[in-house]
Every structure is written in structure tokens, then in C-alpha cells.
Structure 1
């Protein structure tokens, strides 16, 4: 067996010094936490990222004939660390060989099986950019068309290779189930400890995918999880208590200020109410006066009609509702009434409604006519006097 592990890899990280077996100091909070830690880690040096366990390191297991090659992948690349002779006897052993052969820091890292590039098929596909959020679900529908296998016969995953505007270029990677299952079986007991299965690219570097189904991925227990939740609950309780005390102090100060201000505010409100009532009364009277002055009176309308209607015309009904004038009567010159009434400034748009109905008794035509009162747009200007002037 040959091994090559540098001193930095053998140095336990701060996270491991505080809690063995991969314990974490923080409860996971999903994608935001991962994005935030990656953004912070990008500002740190490689040594500090390794110290704090932010370098996303993993151990790659690759079978090559009768050897099991071990490699350490981290931010600065992949480094070979060991080559073990591998046989059916070694695979049948139930204990964890790597835990006894590797330093604790490396032994506690996630383990991934790395398949050779010839183990599967790779296809480049183009999709809309929106498909990147659910890329694996999208490429599942392309397996039957892009590979000679059915979706149920392969383990697959996909990755985004390039982006261009509203399009992405993705790579579908598919490995037959028999091939992947045989590779896991050849690891024996180690097969149950792998967190994922990746495949090597043309240059031998991992593609950064995970072909292993979620149900078969090994997830290491976090012994600090209960303590993390307890510390988080204690922090939340302390924060809530401090905020409650601050709120109580501010509420007491606000109550004292409100008691002082209410006495003065009551007098001000009473004065404001009386002033508002007076203003409403004055404005209401002014509105009524301006509305009355802006529209012709009924007497003016009757006088204007009496002067404009011919003697052969008499009215049976005159109605003024709002700004609508309704005339019903009989006339021997009913068809000329519109022309005789349309030049008045007291109304506008006179028109006959319905057909003229001859009355055999009076030998006149019965008519129905409507018009709109001419109401001044701005009361108080010269328009009112003009509306009441003679034609």
C-alpha cells in the first residue's frame, strides 16, 4: 500500500477539534446557508478554508483492476493519497478499512465512488434558462431519446455546462444500473458508506454530479445536532427576552407620554371639530348658492319656451329632472320645433324622441322632445349672465 497525505490534510480542522465525527457547530438552514458560507469562504485563503472545514473536501474511491485508489478532492484540485490492494476478501470484511488506514480528518470526509469515463454516456442538450432550477427532472424525459436505455434502466444526473442569454447548455450523464450496482457491490462494506457516485471526465477529473439515488446516499450522523438546536433555541429565547424587555420599556414611556398629550389633544380636537363644522356650514351654503346660480330657473325656462314655441303648439307636459327637460305636446309644426329651440342658451341638444303621432281629433302631431339644461361650468363668471340673455 502506498500513501501520500500532506501535513495540511492531516491537521484536524477547527470544526473537528470542537467535535469529532464530522460534528457541525451550526444547524443547517438550506440553500441560503450554503450560499452564504460559500460567499464567505471565497474571501478566505485556502489554509483558512481548510481550517474551518469550508473547502467542501471529499474522498474519491476508484476501482482499477485489483487496486482501490483513494484521492482527496478539495478546492485546489485532486490529490492521490493511497492505493490499496483490493480483492473479494477485502470487500467482504465488515469493518471500515479506511477508518483505520487514514488520518481521522480524512477518514471523516464524505466518500464518493468515482466511475471511469467509459462507464456511462454523456450527451449535450440545450434548454431554456428556466429549466436550470429543475434540470434533473427535465432531462429525465430525454433519456429515452438521447440514450439507448430506458429511464428505469439507468442512474442519471445532469449539470449545466454553459449559459447564453435565456438558454443553457446542459450535459446528461447516464450509467446503466447494472454497471453502477456492480461497482458498489465490488466495494463490499465500503459501498454502504458512500455519499454519492461521480464519473470522471475525459481529463480524469470528476464531473461534479451525483448518480446515486437519494435513498442510497450515506449521510453521516451529526452528534452536535441536538446541542446545536439547544444553543439555537437558547439564543432565540434570549433574543426574544431582550426584545420583550425593550418593548416593555418603550411601551411604558409611550404610555406616560400619551397621558400627558391626551389632555392637550382633547382641547385641540374639540376646537378642530367646531372649526370643521363651521367650515362645512359655510361651504355648504356657498355650494347651494353657486349651484342655484349656475342653472336656469324654471320661470326662465318657461319664459323662453313661451317665446320660442309657435302659436300652433301647446304643451301637455313639461318636466325638469336634474338637467333633463322633457316636453310632450301637440303641434302642427312639430318637425320644425328642433330648429326653433336649438339656438337657446338655456338648454342644448334639443331632439325629438320617437315618431310623430298624428291626432285625428286636433289635426296636429303629437311629439315628445328632450333637451339638456345649460348649466354654467364655473359659477360666478360671466357665463351665467350670458345663459340668461335673449337670443
Structure 2
């Protein structure tokens, strides 16, 4: 908030007890007419950078009127120059506030008269000894107004942080000592409270963004004319962007249809390929039926596998050495052979075997000629 608005607010508050609320209502009503981008350019909206440590990482968020957006998460420690190079000149121009975790601060609720709003910091400073186990010279503090009661009193929250905590913060990131505009604290949900626990003399001073506009008040008429022309041009640009967006949507839909058509073709080709592969091998049911007829009694299978044109059988049998002869001569496979040596199984007193064979191509389906296709001799 700029100096002239601070002075106006303090004067209005002294003139009438309800002036502070009127000023807040009047300011919100005026800001509602301005686009958010203009509010930011004119310095009328509270936009800042929040930095806080999450383990060994430094999180950087953009806080715009309580709406936090994560910009980056980089390893700690980092110097202000590295962060400025990462964010760019536009974001680096925003004030930087360090966010302390909720357990680092002490919060106490107070109820004060409405007249204390003009000197809230001085009033709550006298309450530190009574509300906290610290003295005023052992802590840094700030206060925020939570709400206005019907009886004219204020609900205020006192936020206190020991000086040792900020000293430790300066020790951890000494390069940030002169680059911070404030130190805030998070509540139980991790949201910033909106206080500034950094002493005024330690805060980074930035140029008032309203100074340039104050010098241009004499050219208000010219600015209004330029603003009108710019708004007209912006409307045309917006219409062109909308048209381009529609073209992009149509093009995206066309690309999506093309991709879906290609996917469908790939699925059809894949299904045809698998059908051809299945046609080249006998069905598993026929193989199993053939095995059931050829394997002798006293033979148990532990594994039956058809993979890549290869038949593999693993099991136990009373006559394992004769299995190769029993499986020869089948139209569904060829070259049956035992793999490895036969191993006796002590529990069942049978031989454990592993037998492999190559599957043959499935026989072509027989087609019978219909009467109309038969050739009749004269």
C-alpha cells in the first residue's frame, strides 16, 4: 500500500469510528471495476512471492490476494540472484516474503476497542507480557484484525515469533537477509496469515509503484483517449484470438479423428495378424484332446505350455521313457523329445520328465463343393 493511501486511511479512521470499514468497502467497490491485470500494474492488489523450506527444497509461490500458485521448487540453499534468474524480471520485481511453519509462531486472540485500530501495533505490544511467556524485547510480533463485532470492538490476533527464530533464519540463508520484504507465518492448513514479523528496519524497501502514475495525472485526458483506443484494439485482438482458438479446436478435432482412424486400422490389422497366427497353429483344445488320448495311465502333468510354436510338458509318469514313442506320429506336432534327464520323485516313486515338441501348422479347413459348383460330364 502506497504512502498517500496509508495517510488517507489513517485520517479517515480518526474522523469517524466506522471510516475504516467504509474505506475498505469503497476501495473494494472501485477495484471491482478494474481488470485484475490493471490492479496489479497500478499496485492496488496485494501480490507477493512466498518462499519457504520443505525439507531440502525451497518452494516459491505467487500469492495474489490469498490465492497461492506454486512457481518452482528448487534445492536449498539458493541465493537471491539464482532465484531472480529463474523467475525472470517480472516476477522478481514482486516483494519476497519468507513463510514460517505454523509451529514456529505463537498466536493469541485479543478483543480490543475499535479506536485501537489506528495504533494496533503499539496496543498489542503492551499485551505481549500478559499473553505470551516472552517479553517484548525477546520477540518480533505483528497483529491482524480478524473481524468487527456488533458492539464496536475488534477481534484481533497477536502473532509472536522469538527473535532467535529469525536469527536462525538469517543464519541459514544469510544472502536473503537484505532481500526479504517481510516474514509471514502459516496457519494449521498451511495458508499464510497475512502478517509481517520482520522488523521495519530490516525490510527491503521497494520503489512506490504509484509514483509514476502520480506524475501522469495532468495527462488524464490523453491517457483516457489512449486507453479507449487501446481497449478497442484489445477487443479486436481478443476477437482474433477467439477465432484462432476456434480454428485450433477444429484442427485438433481433425487430428483426433485421424488418430482414431489410424488406431482403428491398427487394431484391425493386429486382429488380422493374430487370426493368421492362430490359423497357423492347432487350437489348444485339439492339442489337449490329442494328449489325453496318447498319454498313458499313471502320468500326471504339472505344466502344459504352448508358446511360440513350442509344446512343453512337465510332469510325473510311471513310464516316462516311453512317452516320446507314444507322442510320435501326431498330425498336431512333430519331433517330440525329452529335455534333460529323468529324475526320480521319492514321494510318488515316479520319474519327473520335461518333454518338448514343435507344433505343426493347422491343417487347412476342408471345403466341400456344392452342387452348383460341381462339373457334370456330358
Q: Which structure has the larger Rg over C-alpha atoms?
A: 1
Larger relative CO (CA 8 A, sep 6+): 1 or 2? 1
